[in-house]
Amino acid sequence: MAQTTTQTVEQTLSIIKPDAVGQNMIGNIIEYFEREGLSVVATKMLHLTAAQGKEFYAVHKERPFFQELVDFITSGPVLIMVLEGENAIARNREIMGATDPQKAAPGTIRADFATSIDRNAVHGSDNKENAKAEISYFFKPNEIFSRA
Ligand code: CMP
């Protein structure tokens, strides 16, 4: 019997981090998402404050690298986007590659643009619940232009 796979249109949060913004790689990175069928349906550039960095990454507050994480994400402007598409949360994670660029598959964003686990070019929501929370942290509903 033919197998059917469930395809759901989802939205996920993506951040192009200060390392990649500083290297003028915004356009190059967005191309990875668009050529894989994800659409940018909201975007803004911000230079996060320390309070915003801590709040955004609150799930990591007990981790030993928390302070470095906040210092880095607040070290320069970031491009924040909502990406939309079929299974966008998992697709975005595949397109980004593993958190540690040394372990990221060839052709992924982190393999191509990241230099270390801290300076890893992009952030992406890791599950549905976090995607919803992260999107609403940065965007009001009327700032998101769904094309689904
Ligand atoms: P990101 O997807 O933005 O989510 C949390 C970030 O913590 C992660 O990417 C990494 O840049 C950073 N980080 C630093 N050290 C570690 C580590 N040992 N394990 C996981 N994430 C780490």
CA of 142 to the centre of ligand 1 (A): 30
CA of 86 to the centre of ligand 1 (A): 25
How would you list the strands of the sheet with 78-86, edge to edge? 39-46, 78-86, 9-16, 122-124
117 touches ligand 1 (CB under 6 Å): yes
In angstroms, rounded to a whole number, what is the distance separating the alpha carbons of residues 26 and 29?
5
All residues at 6 or more sequence positions from 94 whose CB lies less than 8 Å from its CB, including other chains? 108
pTM for the model stands at 0.95
CA of 112 to the centre of ligand 1 (A): 17
Catalytic residues: 123
pLDDT digits (tens, 9 = 90+) for 29-52: 999 999 999 999 999 999 999 999
How many Å is the Cα radius of gyration of the chain? 15
Strand partners, 83: 12, 40
123 touches ligand 1 (CB under 6 Å): yes
- CA-closest candidate to residue 108, choices 12, 24, 28: 28
Q: Give the tokens for residue 71.
A: 């210092």
pLDDT digits (tens, 9 = 90+) for 50-105: 999 999 999 999 999 999 999 999 999 999 999 999 999 999 999 999 999 999 99
118 touches ligand 1 (CB under 6 Å): yes
Q: What is the pLDDT of residue 7?
A: 76
Tell me the CB-side half-sphere exposure of residue 14, using CA atoms within 13 A. Answer: 33
Residue 4 pLDDT grade (very low, low, confident, very high; cuts 50, 70, 90): low
